[in-house]
Amino acid sequence: MTTTEEQAARLAIADVRSFDDTTAGPRRRAALANHTRAWLAGLWRGATAGMRTDGVALAAVGSLGRDDPGPLSDVDLVLLHSGRVLSESAINALADRIWYPIWDAGVKLDHSVRTVAQCRSVAQADLTATIGLLDLSWVAGDRELVTAARATVAHDWRGAARRRLPEMLESLAARHTRHGDLAQSLEPEIKEAKGGLRDLTILAALAEAWLAQRPRGEVVTATGLLLDVRDAIHVVTGRGRDRLLRQDHDAVAALLGHDDADDLLTEISDAGRVIAHSLDAAMRRASQAQRARLLRVGPRRPQMTPLGYGLFVSDGELVLGHDRLLTDPVLPLRAAALAATHGVPIAPATLTNLAKVSPLPVPWPDEAREQLGNLLASGPGLVPVWEGLDQAGIIGSWFPEWSAVRSRPQRSPVHRHTVDRHLVETVVHAGGMVREVSRPDLLLIAALLHDIGKVKGARDHSLEGAPLARAIVERMGHPEADVALVERLVREHLTLVELATRRDHADPGTVEAAISASGGTLAGFDLLRALTEADAAAAGPAAWTDWRSSLVAQLTTAVRARLDPDAPEPDDPAPRAQPADVERAVRAGRVHVEARSSGSAWRLDIISTDRLGLFADTAGVLAVEGLIVRTAIVRTLDGLAVNEWHVESPRVENPDPARIGRLIERLATGDLSPLVALEKRRNRPTRPSATADTASPGQARAMIVPGASPDATVLEVRAQDRPALLHDLGRTFTRAGISVRSAHVATYAGQTLDTFYLTDVADRPLAPAQVAQVVGLVIDTCES
């Protein structure tokens, strides 16, 4: 990258050596601030040579005003003047003599020219300007003028802060919605996101208005970390950006001394949570002060609403009635359950006191287990209360294993939260299904612990999490049967959705696998099904689509039919005879297509004369139509193919059954023109996503799943996705003389995870020689 002389100087101050210890950050930022101020003072002297400068000054706001600039941060300057010493034209000419050399140096500049009165007027009209001007600091010229401007803005702010709190809350909410939550982002916006550096200026502004304490302790530590990350982003990218993009994770992590990027992201998440939690508490304090001021007529006593057990709600927070309660080790659980149930946070001082309570004995007393159940069943109120408990260290005292997943990032594209937040969100979703299972307490505990094995270095988090969950539930004092059931649920929590989306529900082997995963009981299966849905729904909309929901429902119906004599029978998977007019048309060479909507997905029933290559042709036509295939079930009845395709339609509102039928008919006659568009799309170069993982996906894999079906050979294919891949695989099977009985297609982060049930011409599983042949052909197809 080409830099100007000034940019190079600022980067040199922040070279790699300045990141070598934990105290380097403040020293580096102080050096950058001193260097920048000295440079600007030099520009000032040159611009004002021979001029009278009383009543004129150069001041800084923003990061330079706070003395914490980054290597390539913008410079925010205000040219202050009294309005009496120089004319307007002279002031503008002076401004040009200062601004142009800064621009010529390649430094980004935000500038303004104002009198003290104008600063006051702008601050009164614009909340953002108010908060910015609170950081106003002298650079050169008349120091008293800068002091007067800052004192005036601060005085006005203290008088108006309570009145402007609603405006501040609205501004915060809008910014957080726009930039997201720093703690939950894989590409965190260090400055503007919730829990970012901009929130620290809000905390400082509240402190300036005497509505909150100055940031200290953990908040100061978190601030230093985020500033170090911002500085490292500037050095690594050579740009003054504030977002940590995926492609910069490793370089920034290495510069800051981390073994891997996930450790860095964990620290960033922790810092963001500390700042966000502190800001939430400060805004509550400020709102309480505002209410007290509005309601005060005479001496005011605190309004205490009793909740029982010596706990009260006061000013919208749960508080302790007396310190004598702190001798009860169950108190934190009881307080948390009441707070979450009533939808109020626990007051910061109360959290501090609860953290001092003696730890729970092992095994837990019955009341502790009951109160944990009440807390986990409290619904959405659980999330903020759990966060407060976690910030106070109380969660770690209950579950020491929690620290290993705390703020742990998840790189799966379907996940939107860190591991620990995902666990809590899963509990919230599971709370909506407690009436569907016989043991709601175990469902909620399994939801809380299902990803407890997602620790650093874990290969299979389900297998590694199961013994951790067992140890936790044993400490809680549950009987062995309950312990074993929770352990099973954690170990198998991914099994049901994998079977539902990647196996043939009509195959007895699929149903047997689902029953085995749940322990062979209907009660166990109901718990596993509810956990499956809660886990996927908490992960995000990409993990629990209408398509996945319908597939899990189909498998659930099949399993219930086996385990519950009174359950309704599942739909007969055998193909049904078609109406006479449809059958006549199909035997005459027509293709009959029916489309039925299922939420955001569609079911296409495609009836045609059976032939080799029909699967490939249908897959190609659906790709041309812009439809994403999720499941294909191929059946034959008296020479007719009665096939069922489940598709999603991201680019077209409704599939056109008549057009799909006509295109398949043309392919059957040897007319390949319907696939011309597909060939063009296949050959079109693709540009990788800016946020995609740049690591090589590795070689395509094709694996036989032994024992998955007694009637077919089950082949799993994992490869880089591309346009028309399913069509290409279908053509490969056709050339090998192999029939596709069903296909189950999934794509994650550009990688396919497809499962095919294959048979030979006699509708039998493939012979060993055919298996070896098809595996090689499939790999070649995926990599061609």
Range from 436-450, 525-539, 633-647 carrying the lowest mean pLDDT = 633-647
- pLDDT at residue 652 in the model: 64
- pLDDT at residue 547 in the model: 80
3-state secondary structure of 354: helix
Distance CA 372, CA 141 (A): 63
- 55-103 confidence digits (pLDDT tens): 999 999 999 999 999 999 999 999 999 988 888 899 999 999 999 999 9
pLDDT at residue 761 greater than cutoff 90: no
Cα 208 to Cα 147, 155, 202, 349, 633, distances in angstroms: 15, 9, 10, 22, 67
Token pair listed for 233:
């982003």
**Token pair 């048309």 in the structure block, residue:** 585
pLDDT at residue 152 greater than cutoff 60: yes
pLDDT band at residue 693 under the 50/70/90 scheme: very low
Range from 434-438, 542-546, 672-676 carrying the lowest mean pLDDT = 542-546
> Percent of the chain beyond pLDDT 70?
93
Distance CA 492, CA 470 (A): 14
pLDDT at residue 500 greater than cutoff 80: yes
pLDDT band at residue 109 under the 50/70/90 scheme: very high
Give the closest residue to 510 by CA, choosing from 470, 466, 472, 552. 552
pLDDT at residue 686 greater than cutoff 60: no
- pLDDT at residue 689 in the model: 41
Q: Which amino acid is at 8?
A: A
Are 289 and 209 in contact, with CB atoms under 8 Å apart?
A: no
- Considering the chain, what is the average pLDDT of its residues? 89
- pLDDT at residue 695 in the model: 38
3-state secondary structure of 128: helix
List of E strands, 589-721: 592-598, 601-609, 628-633, 636-637, 640-648, 701-704, 713-720
Distance CA 477, CA 398 (A): 13
pLDDT at residue 563 greater than cutoff 80: yes
Token pair listed for 231:
């500085």
The answer to whether domain 312-562 has CATH 3.30.1120 is no
Cα 441 to Cα 194, 399, 528, 620, 744, distances in angstroms: 33, 17, 13, 48, 34
CATH superfamily of 697-784: ACT domain (3.30.70.260)
- 253-272 confidence digits (pLDDT tens): 999 999 899 999 999 999 99
- pLDDT at residue 599 in the model: 67
Distance CA 450, CA 183 (A): 21
Out of 1.20.120, 1.10.3470, 1.20.1070, 2.30.30, the CATH code matching 165-295 is 1.20.120
Cis peptide before 363 (omega within 30 of 0): yes
Distance CA 370, CA 366 (A): 6
- pLDDT at residue 135 in the model: 95
Distance CA 279, CA 110 (A): 27
- pLDDT at residue 286 in the model: 87
Out of 3.30.390.10, 3.40.50.620, 3.30.70.260, 3.40.190.10, the CATH code matching 574-686 is 3.30.70.260
pLDDT band at residue 490 under the 50/70/90 scheme: very high
Token pair listed for 766:
């493939």
In this predicted model, which residue has the larger pLDDT, 758 or 5? Answer: 758
**Residue 756: enclosing H or E segment and its boundaries?**
strand 751-759
pLDDT band at residue 1 under the 50/70/90 scheme: very low
- pLDDT at residue 25 in the model: 86
Distance CA 160, CA 695 (A): 53
- pLDDT at residue 159 in the model: 92
- Helical packing angle, 440-449 and 366-376, nearest 10°: 70
- pLDDT at residue 639 in the model: 81
In this predicted model, which residue has the larger pLDDT, 285 or 396? Answer: 396
Cα 453 to Cα 395, 422, 468, 517, 536, distances in angstroms: 17, 13, 7, 18, 17
Q: Establish how many alpha carbons lie within 13 A of residue 49's alpha carbon, considering only the half-sphere containing its beta carbon.
A: 5
CA 120 to chain centre: 41
List of E strands, 36-141: 56-61, 75-81, 109-114, 137-141
Range from 279-288, 565-574, 636-645 carrying the lowest mean pLDDT = 565-574
Sign of CA dihedral 640, 646, 650, 654: positive
Read off the pLDDT of each residue in 177-206 and give the average, rounded to a whole number: 96
Read off the pLDDT of each residue in 334-348 and give the average, rounded to a whole number: 95
pLDDT band at residue 428 under the 50/70/90 scheme: very high
Phi-psi region of 141 (alpha: psi -120 to 50; beta: other; left: phi over 0): left
Are 46 and 20 in contact, with CB atoms under 8 Å apart?
A: no
- Decide if 165-295 and 312-562 have a common fold: no
Token pair listed for 94:
């002076």
- pLDDT at residue 751 in the model: 76
Are 663 and 617 in contact, with CB atoms under 8 Å apart?
A: no
In this predicted model, which residue has the larger pLDDT, 18 or 237? Answer: 237
Q: What are phi and psi of 707, to 5 degrees?
A: 75, 5
In this structure, the number of other CB atoms found within 10 A of the CB of residue 367 comes to: 13
- pLDDT at residue 74 in the model: 93
Q: In terms of C-beta density within 10 A (0-12 exposed, 13-18 middle, 19 or more buried), how is residue 427 classed?
A: buried
Distance CA 332, CA 300 (A): 29
Range from 16-20, 148-152, 165-169, 446-450 carrying the lowest mean pLDDT = 16-20
Token pair listed for 660:
């799909």
- pLDDT at residue 696 in the model: 42
Token pair listed for 263:
């450790």
**Token pair 């049930």 in the structure block, residue:** 757
All residues at 6 or more sequence positions from 642 whose CB lies less than 8 Å from its CB, including other chains: 575, 576, 578, 605, 607, 635, 636
* DSSP labels, 153-185: HHHHHHHHTTTTHHHHHHHHHHHHHHH-BGGG-
| CATH no. of 13-160 | 3.30.460.10
Phi-psi region of 719 (alpha: psi -120 to 50; beta: other; left: phi over 0): beta
All residues at 6 or more sequence positions from 144 whose CB lies less than 8 Å from its CB, including other chains: none
Q: What are phi and psi of 288, to 5 degrees?
A: -65, -40
- pLDDT at residue 423 in the model: 98
Q: Where are the domains of the chain?
A: 13-160, 165-295, 312-562, 574-686, 697-784
pLDDT band at residue 418 under the 50/70/90 scheme: very high
- pLDDT at residue 749 in the model: 59
Read off the pLDDT of each residue in 220-226 and give the average, rounded to a whole number: 95
